[in-house]
Amino acid sequence: MQAHVPLFAGLCLSFCVAIASAADAPPPALAAKAASHSTTDHSQLEALKGPFKTGPEVTKACLSCHNMAGHQVMKSVHWTWEAPSKTDGKLLGKKWAANNFCGSPLSNEARCTSCHAGYGWHDKSFDFADQDNVDCLACHDNTGSYRKFSTDAGHPLYADREFEPMEGPPGKKLFKAPDLTRIAQHVGRPGRDNCGNCHFNGGGGDAVKHGDLDSSLKNPPRDVDVHMARDGANMVCADCHTFNAHQPSGSRYAVTARDTHGLDLPKDDHNRATCESCHGLTPHRQAKINHHAGKVACQTCHIPEFARGGVATKMRWDWSTAGKRDADGKPLFVKDEHGHLKYSAAKGDFAYGENVRPEYKWYNGSVSQVTITDKLAGHRAADGVLELNRVDGSAADPNARIWPFKVMRGKQAYDPVNDTLVVNHVFGDDDTALWKNYDFAKSIQAGMDYAGLPYSGKFDFIETRMNWFITHMVAPKEKAVPCAECHTRGNDGRLAVITDLYLPGRDRNAWVDLFGSLAIAGAIGGGLVHGLVRILTRRKENAQ
Amino acid sequence: MSAERIYIYKRYERFWHWSQALLIIGMMITGFEVHGSYTLLGFESAVRLHTLAAWTLLTLWAFTIFWQFTTGEWRQYIPSLKNVLAMVNYYLIGIFRDAPHPFRKTVVQKHNPLQRLAYLALLAVISPLIWVSGLFYLFYGDWQRLGIDAYLNLEWVAVAHTLGAFLITAFFFIHVYLTTTGHTVFAHIKAMITGWEEVDGTQHKP
């Protein structure tokens, strides 16, 4: 009988260990998204035998089967770089909207269009109607080896090339031409690299622009992105940014600031670029937290900081200091102690941030975006800073919620006479490009001439601000922003600047608090005095 | 001075009183934390406990209202202005001179006239103020769905709730102090624990 006791205990123990280890094991990864589920092995196709010498040759081969794809892509913002504003119909998109990073692609096409979903957009003569110019591989390469070269107007290298990047370490570096034939035979659904090659590098480098999109998302730890981590949901960009006939869902130019539809079911529009599309409208167990979603975007609590993956994002870019040279007369490039370029003769001064707490603003999806043709008068904030894309909304607006933003600050060139921003010709092998000659007078004149926009010939620099809403790098739920970081009287409260609503824990009525405090003090004091007199009078009586 | 013991607070009544006391003290502590007056448990825990205590107290009240009416005890709360001045006079003067208490507790009349007025004010003014504002506050997220968001304003609801909280807190301290005014300092509290009150037999009979 006694022998059974340790046996039983042993069984219990091993059972507990089994349970514990089962709990520790990461959840099984979702099925691999590669070609394994495809009904076609592209490497067996006659049309893809190759060999392919250029990108457009591959595209022709793709279109020989996917005969609608080219025309679908040519309608998408990835191709047109144009998007009409939802509110005022004004043409936006990369072509027209101004930002405080590199500025306009006009006159700089060969450099900027290394992220265009096409081939050969060298200048204004680019044929947007030729489907052979569509780049299929940028999005559909599954080998991870396809790269569009940074200065070849969207083409990859067709032969190995020695090249010295402007801001890299001195000396030429060998860049290998990708094997187009092999890549064409290994195509499939877009993975993280396909999107990331451009979107992680927005603004000219890793993490520069968005703050919530950088190379750390290729294989992020769960703390950085609960959706994309391998031990999280192991999702890829296109799982949320669902495509319909090559049109991506979820765009800065078509934002759903408040999703009232909820789950995206098969009968719906296959747009999953909101949290609610998968999580529904009431995802929390506590009703009080679900109620918050009426006024607070999911992102506000669930993305406590941006640039959390170990890659710093640019927070400030001051163009006005560009052009300095060192003692030898060479353009100056200075790195900070973290290896970040903090001064570039080509671009001016930079400031970076990691693990940055967002700024919070009401946002109803409507943006007052400054374009390169707009007069600036109506876009200056009370502090005189030019708001490049003021976001609209208030507590009284039923469509607005409080959203987190990376606010990019900068100082950039403008025309003080015409009161417009300017097109700056930064890139090119000519004697006007800023990155060759470091002369704003020439580069702006050349940019404005190229764009065909009115220019007074005078330029100055203006302080600007730009709002980049934060929606990626969702943290695990246990890392969500604690209630008290907003519900606090402290000046460091996250919502300290949102003053047009009553925020419990922060706000109060001073008169009611004064009256109430006096009432409590009176109650306690009255009791104390009354009790004291009782003690004193009893003593006197006892003494008598 | 001959003392007479009467069984004045029945078992349910004592359970009600002390559990209600616990809940209200808990709600005062958590409520003022939610108000931002101090940090103790953390905002989130404070909100959670405050809400839990509110629902518990509402449940307790449902049973208590049932109890009040089935036992007829509700009559204890019928106000009367008779002898109110005598009570005021006692608390302001008599108590310091060791004058006899003008009111003699009995099983059918356990509250003195001043107490009755105080409880009436509690039931008719402070309670509705707290509960109505509190429930609107709690269901703020449903205002839009219920179509009442155009008529209400969170700030006023919250401020009304805060005002109620200050009033009941003041009431609480006065209430606790007055428990010490029995024939010994702890006589009333003892009675609320055991149910038995020692009543002075020499005083005038009701």
Q: Using CA atoms, how far apart are residues A144 and A183, in angstroms rounded to an integer?
A: 9
Cross-chain Cβ contact A291/B163 below 8 Å:
no
Say if residue A16's pLDDT is above 90. no
Indicate whether A88 and A176 sit together in one domain: no
Cross-chain Cβ contact A484/B44 below 8 Å:
yes
A153 CB-contact burial (10 Å; exposed 0-12 / middle 13-18 / buried 19+): buried
A298 CB-contact burial (10 Å; exposed 0-12 / middle 13-18 / buried 19+): buried
Q: Using CA atoms, how far apart are residues B78 and B87, in angstroms rounded to an integer?
A: 17
Which structural domain range is residue B33 located in? 3-200
Residues of chain A contacting residue B138, judged by C-beta atoms under 8 Å apart: 288
- Please report the pLDDT score of residue B115 as a whole number: 85
Q: Which of A288-302, A476-490, B186-200 has the lowest mean pLDDT?
A: B186-200
SS3 labels along B24-71: HHHHHHHHHHHCCCCCCCCHHHHHHHHHHHHHHHHHHHHHHHHHHHHH
In-domain check, residue B148: yes
Say if CB A361 and CB A402 are below 8 A apart. Answer: yes
Residues in chain B: 206
In-domain check, residue A197: no
Using a CB–CB cutoff of 8 Å, tell me whether A526 touches chain B: yes
Using a CB–CB cutoff of 8 Å, tell me whether A534 touches chain B: yes
Helix B84-92 with B113-121: angle, nearest 10 deg: 100
Cross-chain Cβ contact A487/B36 below 8 Å:
yes
Indicate whether A395 and A312 sit together in one domain: yes
Say if CB B169 and CB B28 are below 8 A apart. Answer: yes
In-domain check, residue A196: no
Cross-chain Cβ contact A504/B97 below 8 Å:
no
Say if residue A471's pLDDT is above 90. yes
At residue A535, φ and ψ (nearest 5 deg) are -65, -45
- A vs B: CB pairs below 8 A: 107
Closest CA to B116 of B74, B154, B145: B74
Cross-chain Cβ contact A522/B42 below 8 Å:
no
Indicate whether A309 and A367 sit together in one domain: yes
A275 CB-near residues (< 8 Å, 6+ apart): A259, A283, A298, A299, A302, A474
In sequence order, the β-bridge partners of residue A118 are A134
Half-sphere exposure of A437 (CA within 13 A, CB side): 17
Indicate whether A403 and A515 sit together in one domain: no
Say if residue A30's pLDDT is above 70. no
Say if residue A19's pLDDT is above 50. no
Cross-chain Cβ contact A516/B163 below 8 Å:
yes
Residues in chain A: 544
Using a CB–CB cutoff of 8 Å, tell me whether A87 touches chain B: no
Indicate whether A353 and A469 sit together in one domain: yes
In this complex, which of A291, A488, A508 lies closest to B140 when CB atoms are compared? A291
In-domain check, residue B206: no
Return the SS3 of A352: strand
In-domain check, residue B38: yes
In this complex, which of A291, A484, A516 lies closest to B42 when CB atoms are compared? A484
Cross-chain Cβ contact A504/B176 below 8 Å:
no
Share of residues in chain A with pLDDT > 70 (%): 92
In-domain check, residue A304: yes
Indicate whether A439 and A393 sit together in one domain: yes
In this complex, which of B141, B159, B165 lies closest to A294 when CB atoms are compared? B141
In-domain check, residue B205: no
In this complex, which of A483, A512, A524 lies closest to B162 when CB atoms are compared? A512
Residue A63 host element (H or E): helix A55-63
Residues of chain B contacting residue A483, judged by C-beta atoms under 8 Å apart: 42-44, 47
Say if CB A279 and CB A447 are below 8 A apart. Answer: no
Q: Where are the beta strands (DSSP E) in A211-358?
A: 243-244, 247-248, 313-318, 333-335, 341-344, 348-353
Cross-chain Cβ contact B96/A533 below 8 Å:
yes
> Residue B147 sits in a domain of what CATH number?
1.20.950.20
Q: What is the mean pLDDT of residues A16-24?
A: 42
Indicate whether A480 and A514 sit together in one domain: no
Residues of chain B contacting residue A523, judged by C-beta atoms under 8 Å apart: 169-174, 177
Among A285, A481, A486, A507, the strongest candidate for a mutation testing the B interface, having the largest count of B CBs within 10 A, is A507
- Please report the pLDDT score of residue B3 as a whole number: 64
- Please report the pLDDT score of residue A47 as a whole number: 95
Q: Which residues of B87-120 are buried (b: 16+ CB within 10 A; e: fewer)?
A: beebbeebbbeeeebbbbbeeebbbbbbbbbbbe
- Please report the pLDDT score of residue A15 as a whole number: 45
Q: At B182, which amino acid appears?
A: G
Distances (CA, A) of A22 to A10, A26, A27, B90: 18, 8, 9, 72
Q: Which of residues 490-509 of A touch B (CB under 8 A)?
A: 501-502, 504-509
Looking at CA atoms only, how far is residue B72 from chain A in angstroms? Answer: 32
Give the pLDDT band of residue A494 (cuts 50, 70, 90): very high
If chain B, 206 residues long, is cut into consecutive pieces of 10 residues, what is the mean pLDDT of each piece?
Answer: 76 95 98 96 96 97 94 84 83 83 78 85 93 95 88 95 97 94 86 85 44
In sequence order, the β-bridge partners of residue A220 are none
Looking at CA atoms only, how far is residue A357 from chain B in angstroms? Answer: 20
Using a CB–CB cutoff of 8 Å, tell me whether A522 touches chain B: yes
Closest CA to A313 of A344, A348, A338: A338
In-domain check, residue A261: no
At residue A380, φ and ψ (nearest 5 deg) are -85, 135
Residues of chain B contacting residue A504, judged by C-beta atoms under 8 Å apart: 34-36, 158
Q: Using CA atoms, how far apart are residues A328 and A326, in angstroms rounded to an integer?
A: 5
Query: Helix, strand, coil proportions of chain A in percent (round to 5)?
Result: 30, 15, 55
Say if residue A9's pLDDT is above 50. no
Domain boundary among A191, A216, A249: A191
Say if CB A194 and CB A185 are below 8 A apart. Answer: no
At residue A330, φ and ψ (nearest 5 deg) are -90, 150
Using a CB–CB cutoff of 8 Å, tell me whether A477 touches chain B: no
- Please report the pLDDT score of residue B6 as a whole number: 86
In tens, the pLDDT along B175-199 reads 999 999 888 888 889 989 999 888 7
Domain boundary among A127, A159, A191: A191
Say if CB A470 and CB A303 are below 8 A apart. Answer: yes
Using a CB–CB cutoff of 8 Å, tell me whether A488 touches chain B: yes
Indicate whether A464 and A387 sit together in one domain: yes
Among B28, B144, B162, the strongest candidate for a mutation testing the A interface, having the largest count of A CBs within 10 A, is B162
Interface of B with A (CB under 8 A): 34-36, 39, 42-44, 47-48, 51, 91, 95-98, 138, 140-142, 144, 153-155, 158-159, 162-163, 165-167, 169-174, 176-177, 180-181
Residue A465 host element (H or E): strand A460-469
In-domain check, residue B128: yes
Structural domains counted in chain B: 1
Looking at CA atoms only, how far is residue A286 from chain B in angstroms? Answer: 10
DSSP letter for each residue of B69-137: HHHTGGGGG----TTHHHHHHHHHTGGGGTPPPS----SS--S-HHHHHHHHHIIIIIHHHHHHHHHHH
Cross-chain Cβ contact B177/A484 below 8 Å:
no
Q: Using CA atoms, how far apart are residues A291 and A502, in angstroms rounded to an integer?
A: 15
* ipTM summary value: 0.91
In-domain check, residue A243: no
Q: What is the pTM of this model?
A: 0.88
Looking at CA atoms only, how far is residue B186 from chain A in angstroms? Answer: 13
Residues of chain A contacting residue B177, judged by C-beta atoms under 8 Å apart: 523, 526-527, 530-531
Which structural domain range is residue A423 located in? 83-103+205-235+294-507
Say if CB A296 and CB A395 are below 8 A apart. Answer: no
Structural domains counted in chain A: 3
Say if residue A22's pLDDT is above 50. no
In tens, the pLDDT along A259-282 reads 999 999 999 999 999 999 999 999
Indicate whether A318 and A222 sit together in one domain: yes
- Please report the pLDDT score of residue A520 as a whole number: 97
Indicate whether A440 and A530 sit together in one domain: no
Distances (CA, A) of A44 to A41, A50, A141, A256: 6, 11, 16, 42
Return the SS3 of A186: coil
In sequence order, the β-bridge partners of residue A247 are A244
Say if CB A220 and CB A227 are below 8 A apart. Answer: no
Residues of chain B contacting residue A527, judged by C-beta atoms under 8 Å apart: 173-174, 176-177
Indicate whether A93 and A138 sit together in one domain: no
In tens, the pLDDT along A382-415 reads 999 999 999 999 999 999 999 999 999 999 999 9
In tens, the pLDDT along A115-146 reads 999 999 999 999 999 999 999 999 999 999 99
Looking at CA atoms only, how far is residue B61 from chain A in angstroms? Answer: 24
For residue A230 the two structure tokens come to 């391998």
